[in-house]
Structure 1
Amino acid sequence: MAQGERENNVHENGWVEEEENDPNQKNKRNLRAEEEEVISVERYFENQEVPSWRQQLTVRAFVVSFVLSILFCFIVMKLNLTAGIIPSLNVSAGLLGYFFVRIWTKFLSKSGFLKQPFTRQENTVIQTCVVASSGIAFSGGFGSYLFGMSGRIASQSTDTTHIKDPALSWIIGFLFVVSFLGLFSVVPLRKIMIIDFKLTYPSGTATAHLINSFHTPEGAKLAKKQVRALGKFFSFSFLWGFFQWFYTAGDDCGFVYFPSLGLKAYKNKFYFDFSATYVGVGMICPYMVNISVLLGGILSWGLMWPLIENRKGDWFSADLSSGSMNGLQGYKVFIAIAMILGDGLYNFLKVLSRTLTGLYTQIKQKEVGVILPVADRSSPVDTSIETSYDDQRRTQLFLKDQIPTWFAVAGYVAIAAISIGTLPHLFPELKWYHIVVIYLFAPTLAFCNAYGCGLTDWSLASTYGKLAIFTIGAWAGASHGGVLAGLAACGVMMNIVSTASDLSQDFKTGFLTLASPRSMFVSQVIGTAMGCVISPCVFWLFYKAFDDLGLPGSQYPSPYAVVYRNMAILGVEGFSSLPKNCLLLCYVFFGAAILINLLKDFLGKERGWFIPIPMAMAIPFYIGPYFAIDMCVGSLILFVWQKINKPKADAFAPAVASGLICGDGIWTLPASILALAGVKPPICMKFLSRATNTKVDKFLSS
């Protein structure tokens, strides 16, 4: 698309009149064309007036954001409660936001009521609001720490006394208290992050380029085609989910339980479950993520668990139930935890070292007399450094609408004070001094996460959350409810550092689309407030509709809830809760995760592309590799498509994948309502072995 724009500019400027056969003229023309391409984005929009920050915050933008937030919260919640792998949905949010407002403006334009045209700044506001709202579905802990407090998850662990079952009232209150602090903590540093340090924020940059392209003539044509493809596969995915529902009248019924690779493989969780969601996720995730998940499933369910199962009666009692943490279940959970912690520790130290090195280098380059700028010190751009037209234009508008530092500090202190007074009432095990310590360190950790995310595109929110689990849990102690204190502290920390990195990404997107920092901040606040209400309501619908939610082998096993609770138990009680030889295996896999990461970084991207990712390998250790097969099918579809027509695959694969994910995700809404209403499917489709089928036939004929 950019290539096409550049060629059009070449023709319009008359450069084709030069001699086509002269190599020097060709080189000069190509050089000029490349220079023009660098500055073509804002040159293209220079005749369009940039709306004020208030005009960017339109009613239609937030109406569309609210509708899309509900859709995306269902998607993220379903992913949270199944396998826990959540791809980036920024592209889908930007694309659908563009589509809905385009329909809105087209209708009003024909009616003669259109007062304000649809701009890329408004598109950015929608994308920011939707991602902020659906982000609460992840950082809210519905598939991890928050659900890990419940009695349903506690029954699968060694500690069944310290529980706090979900209730809509306290969940909404908790999220409102803890979800806004991260926004205020990073606001004073936005100029340092975006302009002075020029952090890349790859996801934010990619989203900005996408939105910018939508609002060019060629980009609008492509966007329409992408939306059409998304709509087709959305409809297919939704109808496929509806069709499957008819065959799920009993336990283990439906296409989900089809033993596509054989009954023996099915027993060990190797089967294709016909999930449009994870086929779509596989098309979005990098190939190595999908292969790593499959390798982890083969290593655990194909090799390790059958071997450990054979040690029944030696390593653990043969009389234990299948869900006992002192039996095979304990190995599944704690070895997965060891790999997650090993990978998390390595990446934490890696990103932290890069953060400190980058900070040192960039501060060193500044003159001694220069004070690091914050929001109130909008120092002029250094004119000694030649900057492009785009950078000058973007910097000028980014510095125009200031968010005062006193406002950010006052907001942080006010919300922190409310939080310190409120959280001990919600969680008596979490004392006020625990919260004070968290809030003293949180701004520094939020900055580290936002800076590291700008360098690497990795948010380590869950790693900081695990750090809070172990420190606060051990501080509170087992006798004073350290398990609940650790899980609650995890929620406080995760929400702060997660929203800080999300807002920094949005500031980068806004910088590149000329959206005001004020509109970005307000949009993030409104989106977060939406998420604090929508996400708990969506979770509550799942919780009430599916009685087996969170149980092993169910449709929604919520694997990370068990993992997080057992992390808290491990932090409070130590290693005494581990079954025989489990600690040794944990050491081995903890070290293996670090060594694999070291080897991957040592070989580099070009030579180490085939090295698996330990975090992805750990995911199927607990729930099995069935979803990995779906994801690998998605990878295979994308691979074949790229071989046949790479440009078309690159342009439309994200839209197709988003349609598959959105359609299957939104089907959970009517499925939940049907379950709550007591409407049951009419058919049970089961798959039996030949021997079992013979017994059933004999029983029925007798």
Structure 2
Amino acid sequence: MEEGRNEEERLGGEEDDESKLESTEQVFEKVEIPSWKNQLTLRALFTSLVLSAVFNFIVCKLNLTTGVIPSLNVAAGLLGFAVIKSWTAVLHKAGLLKQPFTRQENTVIQTCVVASSGIAFSSGTASYMLGMSPTIAAKAEEGNTPNNVKTLSIGWMLAFLYVVSFVGLFSIVPLRKMMILKYKLTYPSGTATAYLINSFHTPKGAKLAKKQVAALFKCFSFSFLFGGFQWFFAADDGCGFSSFPTFGLKAYAQRFYFDFSSTYVGVGMLCPIMVNVSLLIGAIISWGIMWPIIETKEGIWYPPNLSSSSLKGIQGYRVFLSIATMLGDGLFNFFYMILVTGLSFMKRRRSEKNDPASLLPVDDAINKDKGTQLQDLDDQRRTHHFMKDSIPNAVAVGGYIALAALAIIAVPFIFPPLKWYHILVAYAIAPVLAFCNAYGCGLTDWSLASNYGKIAILIFSSWVGQDNGGVLAGLAACGVMMSIVSTASDLMQDFKTGYMTLASPLAMFFSQVAGTFIGCTLSPLVFWIFYKAYPLGDTHSAYPAPYAALYRAISLLGVEGFGSLPTNCLSLAIGFFVGAVAIDVLKEVLKKYETKYRAYRFIPNPMCMAIPFYLGGYFAIDMCVGSLILFVWRWKNKQQAKDFGPAVASGLICGESLSGIPAAILALAGIKAPICMKFLSAAANAKLENS
């Protein structure tokens, strides 16, 4: 989940005693800063390509299972450091090292990899694109018409991503100086990543980084081998360790079990604890209470003997109550962020009128306060290098207009129901939404790109209408909007990281362009491997792809209205929508007025609670195990957990995710595992023996 990207605030914010004696830039004062061209080295780009392939598999697998995506900035920075540092160490011993490894080059790698993995999320291969496919469309009786369905193919997927994914890079570039220098937005993930990279390249930090790398690769090896070991026992659906009835067969039937997934355990270690607890609470409310009650109404509220995937039956309640909760949370945060942005602007304007010094050039404003000389030195050096390689505003505006014009022409050829004037309207309002998302992300570290995408689905699907292909148009419009809004906030996060590591904005921009190109290329190719190897979208398969059905259901809701819902589903949906808003309001009120106990920290997140409505609680249990491991680790040795927790989590995620590559290749070749380890009740076992 893109919204859960605030864990890194805790990873690099504290400074040790030595760092308090001198500023960060004093430590690096004698280190030569390479030109922007020398920051974009061939070894950096090659390393970025390799790591991007790894991270694309990770993000694609997570998208196809739970949709919960942790922040991968730390893993990207750490793995980039490990690869290049190992390479340069070998060259140094051989006397062949021509250019030392710098923190600027490390930042370029991290930017490129995160840009690529960001495309893997915003590309929608596992959400709105898969939602267009005949497989997902067949699950709903409505909207399954030729003009509302599109067969997936590598060709049009690549073409669509190339056309729409680069526009967002130009939408926010003219505002980078205002965001970073004038308003000094924090961008917590970008700031934490910068602290991490700076620490890697100090003598003390480099020693710790080597230990972190060793821990990462130990956990990677364990996770990879354990993932391969599990494959031997999973000959068919319902077989293997992933179907172990940990809490009994009745709990297993309601999807409550621990499925021995190293990936989810690692994700749980990276996500905030309340994210994982929220997932578990949502699973208990839905699969523990709501769905068993609604199932007793079969034949009363909905027809009996429907297929398990029909939206006219129990599946409809699962999907639409999940959508209602997500929309309630999303719309609240959307309008709340606009309110926060507006109030922040008004406050800054008043302060500028009352304090003329705030209108001085950045360098003069920084020099105003002589009482913070160490911070002044950091700010002066960072501002100088941030302004040094500027990107002309004319280039940014011209690039946006040119790429938008290309999309206006090309997208209707790929999606005929979406006309040129629909795209024009989307690109006319997109820069405003991109600014709101980037500004809000700078304040709170939350990107609401997926919420903007859902709103676009409802608007454009309703505008086009079902008979004219509104379902397909809404899903395609989601892709257009998400690609701009998501890329804008990601780029500004990376600009903040580059500002604090003295990486050239020009090098950062070109690194982002390279990462976007890599992501647009790899994301459909990686998805295609899973698409051909596994039955995607089946709720009982290893890759249920929950967001594909959810996004298509949102589009159906846009074209059909609420009359398509099962009996009492609308009333329940309204209740869950209002409940999500009420929870968000309560949390914000407690944040503002209750400071002694900080009770708002214990209020669950509605968006996270909604995810298990469709999937069940198995992955939430895995993630809570990850939180439990980290909690016990912090209790025993807080500093060690802080230093090595992200490395261990990254190793667990990378290892099992990559073990899926040989499994997918074997599946494509028609080779099944030799053993099916399955668990039966005593009665079923006796019946099997007597048969």
Distance 1:556 1:443 in 2: 35
Give the match for residue 115 of structure 1.
98
Distance 1:7 1:370 in 2: 36
1:648 corresponds, among 640, 651, 655, to: 640
Q: Which residue type is aligned with residue 36 of structure 2?
A: W
Distance 2:197 2:12 in 1: 13
CA offset at residue 366 of structure 1? 2.9
**After alignment, is 354-363 or 273-282 more displaced?**
354-363
CA deviation map 1:502-552 (0-9, x unaligned): 000000000000001000100000000000001110000000111x11111
2:132 corresponds, among 124, 149, 155, to: 149
CA offset at residue 367 of structure 1? 5.1
Give the match for residue 480 of structure 2.
492
Q: How many residues of Structure 1 are paired with residues of Structure 2 in the alignment?
A: 668
CA offset at residue 356 of structure 1? 1.1
Secondary structure, counterpart of 1:446 in structure 2:
helix
Distance 1:68 1:154 in 2: 34
Q: Which residue type is aligned with residue 592 of structure 1?
A: G
Distance 1:107 1:570, change over 3 A: same
Q: Are the counterparts in 1 of residues 78 and 213 from structure 2 also a CA contact under 8 Å?
A: yes
Distance 1:504 1:3 in 2: 19
The runs of 5 or more residues in structure 1 that have no matched partner are: 10-33
Distance 1:156 1:427, change over 3 A: same
Q: Are the counterparts in 1 of residues 12 and 193 from structure 2 also a CA contact under 8 Å?
A: no
Distance 1:645 1:368, change over 3 A: closer
CA offset at residue 249 of structure 1? 1.2
2:269 corresponds, among 271, 283, 295, to: 283
Secondary structure, counterpart of 2:318 in structure 1:
helix
CA offset at residue 382 of structure 1? 3.0
1:582 corresponds, among 541, 561, 569, to: 569
CA deviation map 1:625-657 (0-9, x unaligned): 110110111111111111111111111111111
Give the match for residue 545 of structure 2.
558
CA deviation map 1:229-266 (0-9, x unaligned): 11001000000110000011123111111111100000
Alignment of structure 1 residues 141-290 onto 2, 5 Å: 141-157=124-140, 158-161=142-145, 162-290=148-276
Q: Are the counterparts in 2 of residues 351 and 456 from structure 1 also a CA contact under 8 Å?
A: no
In the alignment, is residue 609 of structure 1 matched against residue 601 of structure 2? yes
Distance 1:435 1:378, change over 3 A: farther
Give the match for residue 578 of structure 2.
591
Q: Are the counterparts in 1 of residues 367 and 376 from structure 2 also a CA contact under 8 Å?
A: no
Identity of aligned residues (%): 61
Give the match for residue 53 of structure 1.
36
1:456 corresponds, among 444, 454, 475, to: 444
Larger Rg: 1
Distance 1:330 1:661 in 2: 32
CA deviation map 1:44-82 (0-9, x unaligned): 000111111111000000100000000000000000000
Q: Are the counterparts in 2 of residues 192 and 372 from structure 1 also a CA contact under 8 Å?
A: no
Distance 2:354 2:478 in 1: 39
1:477 corresponds, among 465, 468, 473, to: 465
Alignment of structure 1 residues 78-97 onto 2, 5 Å: 78-97=61-80
Q: Which residue type is aligned with residue 609 of structure 1?
A: R
Give the match for residue 6 of structure 2.
none
Q: Which residue type is aligned with residue 140 of structure 1?
A: S
Secondary structure, counterpart of 1:687 in structure 2:
coil
Distance 1:8 1:591 in 2: 51
1:385 corresponds, among 358, 368, 381, to: 368
Distance 1:475 1:68, change over 3 A: same
2:587 corresponds, among 588, 592, 600, to: 600
In the alignment, is residue 674 of structure 1 matched against residue 666 of structure 2? yes
CA deviation map 1:70-128 (0-9, x unaligned): 00000000000001100001000000000000011011111221110000000000000
Q: Are the counterparts in 1 of residues 453 and 482 from structure 2 also a CA contact under 8 Å?
A: yes
CA offset at residue 617 of structure 1? 0.5
Secondary structure, counterpart of 1:608 in structure 2:
helix
Give the match for residue 73 of structure 1.
56
Q: Are the counterparts in 2 of residues 339 and 589 from structure 1 also a CA contact under 8 Å?
A: yes
2:681 corresponds, among 663, 672, 689, to: 689
CA deviation map 1:487-512 (0-9, x unaligned): 00000000000000000000000000
Q: Which residue type is aligned with residue 486 of structure 2?
A: S
2:409 corresponds, among 421, 429, 448, to: 421
CA offset at residue 363 of structure 1? 3.1
Give the match for residue 302 of structure 1.
288
Distance 1:46 1:580, change over 3 A: same
Q: Are the counterparts in 2 of residues 378 and 399 from structure 1 also a CA contact under 8 Å?
A: no
Q: Are the counterparts in 1 of residues 39 and 507 from structure 2 also a CA contact under 8 Å?
A: yes
Q: Are the counterparts in 1 of residues 538 and 544 from structure 2 also a CA contact under 8 Å?
A: yes
Give the match for residue 394 of structure 1.
382
Q: Are the counterparts in 1 of residues 12 and 195 from structure 2 also a CA contact under 8 Å?
A: no
Distance 1:208 1:383 in 2: 21
CA offset at residue 417 of structure 1? 1.0
Q: Are the counterparts in 1 of residues 434 and 489 from structure 2 also a CA contact under 8 Å?
A: yes
Distance 1:138 1:594 in 2: 26
2:628 corresponds, among 628, 631, 636, to: 636
Q: Which residue type is aligned with residue 47 of structure 1?
A: K
**After alignment, is 97-106 or 381-390 more displaced?**
381-390
Distance 1:385 1:580, change over 3 A: same
CA deviation map 1:657-695 (0-9, x unaligned): 110000011111111111111221111111111111111
CA offset at residue 394 of structure 1? 0.4
In the alignment, is residue 523 of structure 1 matched against residue 511 of structure 2? yes
1:533 corresponds, among 497, 521, 524, to: 521
1:345 corresponds, among 331, 347, 353, to: 331
Q: Which residue type is aligned with residue 450 of structure 2?
A: S
Q: Are the counterparts in 2 of residues 326 and 578 from structure 1 also a CA contact under 8 Å?
A: yes
Q: Are the counterparts in 1 of residues 417 and 464 from structure 2 also a CA contact under 8 Å?
A: yes
Distance 1:74 1:5, change over 3 A: closer
Distance 2:569 2:413 in 1: 37
Distance 1:5 1:256, change over 3 A: closer
The alignment's C-alpha RMSD in Å is 1.9
Secondary structure, counterpart of 2:172 in structure 1:
helix
Distance 1:596 1:679 in 2: 49
Distance 1:366 1:657 in 2: 45
Distance 1:438 1:341 in 2: 20
Distance 2:185 2:600 in 1: 25
Alignment of structure 1 residues 32-47 onto 2, 5 Å: 34=20, 36-37=21-22, 40-47=23-30
Distance 2:590 2:158 in 1: 46
TM-score between the two structures when normalised by the length of structure 1: 0.93
Distance 1:221 1:614, change over 3 A: same
CA deviation map 1:538-583 (0-9, x unaligned): 000000111x111111100000110000000001110111000000
Q: Which residue type is aligned with residue 650 of structure 1?
A: K
**After alignment, is 87-96 or 107-116 more displaced?**
107-116
Distance 1:501 1:591, change over 3 A: same
Give the match for residue 15 of structure 1.
none
Distance 1:142 1:484 in 2: 14
The runs of 5 or more residues in structure 2 that have no matched partner are: 1-10, 370-374
